[in-house]
Amino acid sequence: GLGLSLLEGALITEELAYGCTGIQTAMEANGLAEAPIILAASDEIKKNFLGRMTEQPLVASYCVTEPGAGSDVAGAKTTAVKKGNEYVINGQKMWITNGGHANWFFVLAKTDSNAKAGKAFTAFVVEGNAPGIT
């Protein structure tokens, strides 16, 4: 990045929002999807997904909100089941900023239905052109 401070970043965001809050929201949504990867992903995933964001104009989406649950993560119904070396994710997400344009998605899905909410979910990074995304 440019090595800007948090204050400098906030001032830029404020100016963008002054011009058009919709554009500013769409631009900032990338940061929402990137944050969990920055905090918890492996170096390989960081390089693959975050590295591409600095090399070309890409869009990412944060996919947590669901029908009937809203942003209450504990109420999310999307599941992920391991099949061989991959997971199959099934469920619905809604109100996903940049969802129709994203190159990749941060998706939260339930992998252990017997666990409490804090341990029941796994985060996935899904390519935007993955089969089955509608």
Reading the block at residue 77, the tokens are: 């119904």
Mean pLDDT, all residues of the chain: 92
In a domain, 98, yes or no: yes
In a domain, 134, yes or no: no
17: amino acid identity, one letter: A
In a domain, 1, yes or no: no
Domain containing 104 equals 6-127
CA distances from 67 to 25, 63, 126 (A): 21, 12, 20
Query: What's the total number of domains in the chain?
Result: 1
In a domain, 133, yes or no: no
pLDDT over 70, % of the chain: 99
The mean pLDDT value for 55-74 works out to: 90
The CATH code of the domain that includes 28 is 2.40.110.10
The mean pLDDT value for 55-72 works out to: 91
In a domain, 54, yes or no: yes
